[in-house]
Structure 1
Amino acid sequence: MTTGSQPGLRERAAAALTAARARTAVLTDTVTDEDLTAQHSPLMSPLVWDLAHIGNQEELWLLRRVAGRDFMRPEINSLYDAFQHSRSERPNLPLLGPAEARRYAAEVRGRVFDLLEHTPLEGSALLDDGFAFGLIAQHEQQHDETMLITHQLRRGPAVLTAPDPDAPYDPPPAAEALVPGGPFTMGTSTEPWSLDNERPAHTRETAPFWIDAAPVTNGAYLAFIADGGYQDERWWAAAGWEQIRQHGIGAPLFWHREAGQWLRRRFGVTEPVPDTEPVVHVSWYEADAYARWAGRRLPTEAEWEKAARHDPASGRSTRYPWGDADPTPAHANLGQRHLRPARAGSYPAGASPLGVRQLIGDVWEWTASDFLPYPGFRAFPYREYSEVFFGPEHKVLRGGSFAVDPVACRGTFRNWDLPVRRQIFSGFRTARDV
């Protein structure tokens, strides 16, 4: 199906690109050139690399692949190919400086807006429904999230500000929800800007299960710490136990204990760990260990999506837990409006029909599942987006976080990472069999 004449499609694409670039500017204009070119962690690229990479990918997919134009600066393509150079190597490359990177990204964007205005949004898989423009908006927002992670790793005074969440708060009536067994539709074949790993829609069967009505909180996680959870091998997968022993891990990343109190560092500010917020910056191994300690388990990816999308009354899968409407600030904590999760149990308007809350936004949620293709998967538009990462090395995260923009977050969206990763905005909820 092609919908190039769909009312508002160009406006939607332009708005998504504009919002992404405005966020990129916030993340790169609030620090000095020295901070932009520094590597704040070997796990992350210098911010200036992300800035030029955003422009380079936009040029590749829109100006080159869609419009067929010659590269503006072909000599830099290899510098900004994420598969040619590891993040730890990138500071040593002859990268564009901050001013030059900004000019390059701005020039690409100007040409892209001209392309968007005059190109039919139909006639090929890249153009149908404006997919290529949606792809680039999502790509930039994903790098914005990556740059926000770099800001969290950065040492020094706070440079980013945002109001604390003021979400409606009404504690869920029950601590967990029962999800009925049976088939449901997982994935999508109709979401126009969905990525290849979300496709195609297919039927999955689950047994009935219970799932937490809200993400696991800092307070609950503190009980695991206080009970010696990090010192008890019983709760840990073998590789996780080796990881925490080798690195001396005893709490979520950015936490430390001082004068009998647990504190955390958050974007340059040190503050007491808030008991009621979802725990964040935990690895898959930590989430799995907590779940075992609690006598529960992590939900599978299929269970998570069923809890997030299945409407028992109609039998259909919706785009989001609350239905098919795009998210608003009443539904979820998204888009870097805040620099922290809202209290667990917030956003009653965003609950699923079964009463499960905060499945979208606040914290990415680890699942028990490996990152694998769906039946009928087809790599598009390139293998390196998803296919090369399939396998048991990566675990699936779902639901997005406060750092994720709505354009890159939906009930079918799949994220993945290595189970050791803690710098990401990752939390979890638990489940149990009936």
Structure 2
Amino acid sequence: MNFSFRTAAPNELAGALQDARDYTLTLFECYAAAGLDLPGKVPILPSINPPLWELGHISWFAEWYILRDAQSSDPTAAQRTSMLTKGDDWFDPNTVSHRARWKIELPSTGALKTYCREVLDRVLDKLTRVKNEHAALYPYRLALAYEDMRGEALASGLQTLDVVLPQQLANHVIPAWAQGEIRFPGGTIQLGSVPDSGFVFDNEKWAHPCYVPAFTMDSTLVSNAQYSEFVADGGYQIPQFWTTAGRAWLMAQDRSAPRDWLREGRHWRCRRFGKEIALPANEPVRHISLYEAQAYCTWAGRRLPTEAEWEFAAMSGHPALRWGDLWEWTCSPFEPYPGFTPDAYREYSAPCFMTHQTVRGASFATRLRIRSPKFRNFYLPERDDAFIGFRTCAL
């Protein structure tokens, strides 16, 4: 399914929605096989939802915006009641706190799978009567993007909980690419998305001119081999490499290397989805916090790219530039573009402005149909559980 969900026609959306649900269920079964599907069996971690709650919530989201014709995420916005008697009480994230999701008495796994199937069946049936127009297709594209993003979060959770991956991800190998530097001349770009580009996330609105001075950027991400030199040089023990916030984070973590790295004599191994392997030297370093990326840059005499530089490079089409293996930290705080207003899913961006950091690109676990050089992802600086790395720029 090599197409963009942003401009997908009804028949493409129908196939993609089914594909997304099949993938969600595949990931859920990985948790179930490990005995980690039910709320009481999953540790309470800030980056994870109980998988059974996640399964119900994903379908509730589609029901809310498509079947119940909600025009916003306001708890009173739905024009029809949920197919589940207590659907809103269980799955509305505006009223169910993260910690409360472990305490809810949810229906059985079988009952929630039935709900998921019925929601999708009704969504696909309704889609057959929808015109191929942006306004009419907006909630379907939103629901698809949301399920794809939650799917990546479920895949990330498998790594966090040391669970074996489904085959289609377990077989993914990031190829080794020769790293070099690319000199970009700079200039004025239209940062953000334009109104006639199909589906647009609210934090991409709207395209506006942004001048980018000339800059030099790595063609690929920092590798495990490069990062291990920083570790070997005492990078985690030298305070001068770390920001004030980074030092506070490092002290709380008591860490001397990236998470999931394991020392074996003079070499490193790492945990990958329930398995221990030799650290792949030429792969990009993953599961890195912003603080670790910043410390490496200080040690190496480099810097992280700005969000505008990253988009300039990605939109250039330069043949040597590779992106999409991992999400990439930028040095730009996550801020609204001029004139920002929230869309129907009001909590998608606005609550995260100024506290999160902008992340660009995509990872190997990101579905192809939602990848875009315009996509703005965002994480708290301390997040190191996601499929995230970084590249550097010359000072």
> Any conservation in 1 of the 2:288–2:384 contact (CA below 8 Å)?
yes
2:73 corresponding residue in structure 1: none
The one of 197, 210, 220 equivalent to 1:214 is 220
| Counterpart-to-counterpart distance in 2, 1:116 and 1:264 | 45
The one of 189, 193, 199 equivalent to 1:184 is 189
1:95 corresponding residue in structure 2: 106
| Counterpart-to-counterpart distance in 2, 1:20 and 1:270 | 29
Q: Deviations over 1:235-281 (max 9, x none)?
A: 11101111111220111111121333211111111001111000000
Give the AA of the match of 1:36: D
> Any conservation in 1 of the 2:162–2:271 contact (CA below 8 Å)?
no
Give the AA of the match of 1:388: P
**CA separation of 1:270 and 1:135: change in aligned 2, threshold 3 A:** same
**CA separation of 1:74 and 1:193: change in aligned 2, threshold 3 A:** farther
The one of 45, 48, 52 equivalent to 1:48 is 52
TM-score by length of 1: 0.82
| Counterpart-to-counterpart distance in 1, 2:24 and 2:154 | 8
**CA separation of 1:65 and 1:121: change in aligned 2, threshold 3 A:** farther
**Displacement after TM superposition at 1:19 (Å):** 1.6
**Displacement after TM superposition at 1:399 (Å):** 0.3
| Counterpart-to-counterpart distance in 2, 1:69 and 1:126 | 20
1:271 corresponding residue in structure 2: 277
The count of residues paired between Structure 1 and Structure 2 equals 376
1:71 corresponding residue in structure 2: 82
**Match status 1:363 vs 2:314:** no
**Match status 1:410 vs 2:372:** yes
> Any conservation in 2 of the 1:210–1:432 contact (CA below 8 Å)?
yes
**Displacement after TM superposition at 1:97 (Å):** 2.5
Taking only aligned residues, the RMSD between alpha carbons, in angstroms, comes to 2.0
> Any conservation in 1 of the 2:67–2:123 contact (CA below 8 Å)?
yes
- Does the residue aligned with 1:65 lie in a helix, a strand or coil? coil
> Any conservation in 2 of the 1:177–1:211 contact (CA below 8 Å)?
yes
**Displacement after TM superposition at 1:200 (Å):** 0.9
**Match status 1:229 vs 2:232:** no
User: Mapping of 1:395-434 within 5 angstroms?
Assistant: 395-433=357-395
Runs of 5+ unmatched residues, structure 1: 1-6, 311-351
**Match status 1:372 vs 2:335:** yes
> Any conservation in 2 of the 1:369–1:395 contact (CA below 8 Å)?
yes
1:148 corresponding residue in structure 2: 155
2:140 corresponding residue in structure 1: 133
Give the AA of the match of 1:380: D
Q: Which moved more, 1:32-41 or 1:213-222?
A: 32-41
**CA separation of 1:255 and 1:166: change in aligned 2, threshold 3 A:** closer
**Displacement after TM superposition at 1:76 (Å):** 2.2
- Does the residue aligned with 2:86 lie in a helix, a strand or coil? helix
**Displacement after TM superposition at 1:201 (Å):** 1.1
- Does the residue aligned with 2:302 lie in a helix, a strand or coil? coil
| Counterpart-to-counterpart distance in 2, 1:371 and 1:386 | 9
| Counterpart-to-counterpart distance in 2, 1:263 and 1:287 | 20
Q: Deviations over 1:157-189 (max 9, x none)?
A: x353346446776635xx110111220111111
Q: Which moved more, 1:12-21 or 1:45-54?
A: 12-21
Give the AA of the match of 1:381: A
2:123 corresponding residue in structure 1: 112
**Displacement after TM superposition at 1:41 (Å):** 4.7
- Does the residue aligned with 2:236 lie in a helix, a strand or coil? helix
**Displacement after TM superposition at 1:68 (Å):** 4.6
Give the AA of the match of 2:346: R
**CA separation of 1:169 and 1:150: change in aligned 2, threshold 3 A:** closer
- Does the residue aligned with 1:17 lie in a helix, a strand or coil? helix
| Counterpart-to-counterpart distance in 2, 1:88 and 1:25 | 23
- Does the residue aligned with 2:303 lie in a helix, a strand or coil? coil
**Displacement after TM superposition at 1:110 (Å):** 0.6
- Does the residue aligned with 1:231 lie in a helix, a strand or coil? coil
**CA separation of 1:186 and 1:10: change in aligned 2, threshold 3 A:** same
- Does the residue aligned with 2:69 lie in a helix, a strand or coil? helix
| Counterpart-to-counterpart distance in 1, 2:32 and 2:176 | 38
**CA separation of 1:274 and 1:284: change in aligned 2, threshold 3 A:** same
**Displacement after TM superposition at 1:78 (Å):** 2.7
| Counterpart-to-counterpart distance in 1, 2:297 and 2:320 | 21
> Any conservation in 2 of the 1:300–1:369 contact (CA below 8 Å)?
yes
**Match status 1:384 vs 2:395:** no
Give the AA of the match of 2:378: W
**Displacement after TM superposition at 1:367 (Å):** 0.3
